[in-house]
Structures are given as C-alpha cells and as structure tokens.
Amino acid sequence: MNETRKKFLIATGIYPPEIGGPAEYTKNLRDTWVKQGYGVEVKIFSKFKKYPWGLRHMIFFFYIIPSVSRSDYIVALDAFSAGVVTVASKLFRKTIVFRTGGDMLWEQYTERTGEKVLLRDFYLTKLKKLSVKEKIIFRLMRWTLRNLSAIVWSTEWQKNIFMKPYDLENQKHFIIENYYGPKESDDSALTKTFVASTRDLKLKNLELLERVFKRIKSKNADIELFKEPLKFSDFMYKIKTCYAVIQVSLGDISPNMILDAIRHNKPFICTKEVGIFPRIKEIGIFIDPLNEQEIEHAVLGLLDEEEYRKACDKVRQFSFVHTWEDIAKEFLEIVESRKL
C-alpha cells in the first residue's frame, strides 16, 4: 500500500465495456495505480453524450467538481472534456496533465468536407477553411493546451505538428510512449483474413481499402477484409488468428491495432503517416495512404508465401517492451515534478 495515499482523478471519454483504445488505456492505468495503493476515481464523459454539444460539457463540469476537489493530481485522457477539466482544476489549483490521443478537429473537418488531407498537412493548409464550430473547437483547444500543467504526448511526431498552430512553445512537454506489451502468441493464421477494424471515419480511408480488396479478391477468393469493431477479448482472438493487420489512415499517432499485431507476431501494413514510425520502422510494411496502387502492391506482396514468412520473422524480432507499470510510473514522475 502507498503510505501517502495520493489520489488521482482520471477524466476519460470512454471506459469499458465501451470499445476503443482510450477505454483500455484508462482501465489499465487505473488498475495499475489501484494495485500500487493509490486512490483513483474515473469520470467518463460519454455518459453525457445524449445531451447537446455544449450542454454536456456544462453538466460534466458540475459532475466532476467533487472529484476534482478531492484529488491530488488530475490526468485527462479525452480532448472533448479536457477544457472542462482544466477549468475545474484551476478553481482548486490542482495539477492537471493531458495525455493527447487523436485530433478531433482534423477528424471533424474531414468528416464534414470529405477531403483527404493528411494530419501533418491539416494545420498548414486548412485552418482558413474551418467552419464556425471548428473555429470554436480550435480556440478552445488552444486555450486548454496552453493552460494545462503539462502535456503528455505519445510521440514526438504529434507534438511537432501541434507546436506552432496551438502556440505551445512555452508549455511543458513530456513523452510517454504507448503500451508495448510482451509477446503473447505466435499462432499460424486460421484464414487469410486481414484485420482493419476501426471507426468508420473518412480519415480512416476504408473506402479506398475496400476497393483494393475487391480487386484482389477477384483473383484471390480466399482473402478477406475484416473491419467490424469487437470487444477487447474477442478482438485479441481475431488478431491472434488472422493472417495480417492493415491500417491505411490519413494519419495515426500511436495505433493500438498495430501494437496488438506486434504482440501476436502478425505482419502488418501501416500508413507512413504514423507517429510511432521511428520505433517500428524496421518491422513493418509502410504505404502512402493516398496511393491506391501502393496499398494493393503491399497486400499482394504478403500473399506471396516467401514474402509473408520474411514479414513474420521481422515482427518476431521486435523485443521492445513498455508496460503499464512503466507508464504509471512515468505519469507519477511528471505530476510530482517540481517543474510543474
């Protein structure tokens, strides 16, 4: 038991049984701190999604006030509610760090316009084309990011994209890499299924991927593309028994699906527009997400028996591990830092 019994508040967008990387991240961080003897409260923003935008934020603000007042440290893991939590933390002079995930502004812009703009190009080319709502989101996010105690990034790549448009040169920045677990299996594929499970968003580029697989399937009847979301345990079994994993997003910071593939020694095709590229560049097949022919060539390459064996061997050689205990310790070191 931790003698000081420090109390954490984790504000998250989703939590199990909801499906998604942020839900699993919150649960594992919470469980690790509880196991170590810390007090942890989790407040979930999605409980209020039935209310209109704006109203749900106001309700969430009053909902979290008691927890904020009781906490020693606050960790925000959700961009939609981070501003609300930041305001509450200032009222009680609490230390708050925000661990960034995706980019909701870019996500909303691509959904509204249908434009295939890469994340690394979005802030350089599209800020003048934002809708009124998107401009409000941008300004609120800039205020939030500038008024936190610190920002935790999972990759330097995203940090570098955000620095100038959000004017973060005077903010405190830390890097905590995503979870890289130990190897869990090395099973042979049961079918020639390529797993591409993700949310159905334009930035995920699924329409292009479906066209590619439709052409390939006309000459390779046994190949399948699996896109449906599953609860975590079922999804892990799907990864464990699949042929390969494929992710062709217009940008992704630290994709959990690719890290899941690595733990199960599955070869993967991944967008070049990815924050963890420096960590995994030697073990994957990387494609330009705007180049349909390049994606098709990568899939066909993995259907070759010898190329598939080589791709599996590369993934097997990956040995880097970054546990939930490591992540929890790194968060603790940040919030207890005298520099904040």
- 215 to each of 20, 220, 279, how far by Cα in Å? 30, 9, 32
CA distance 250 to 10: 29
The one-letter amino acid code at 46 reads: S
CA distance 27 to 13: 12
Mean pLDDT by 10 residues, the chain (340 residues): 76 88 92 95 92 90 95 90 90 93 93 96 97 94 94 96 96 96 92 92 95 94 92 91 97 94 97 97 97 97 96 96 97 83
pLDDT at 340: 67
Secondary structure (3-state) at 251: coil
For residues 54-91, b (16+ Cβ closer than 10 Å) or e, as one string?
Answer: eebbeebbebbeebbeebbbbbbbbbbbbbbbbebbee
Task: Record the tokens describing residue 122, joined without a space.
Answer: 């979005």
pLDDT at 1: 46
For 172, phi then psi, to 5°, come to -90, 130
Secondary structure (3-state) at 118: coil
pLDDT at 78: 87
Secondary structure (3-state) at 305: helix
pTM of the predicted structure, to 2 decimals: 0.91
Q: Which domains are present in the chain?
A: 7-179+323-335 (3.40.50.2000), 192-316 (3.40.50.2000)
- 165 to each of 87, 123, 142, 234, 268, how far by Cα in Å? 22, 7, 8, 40, 32
Residue linked to tokens 């190949």? 223
pLDDT at 105: 95
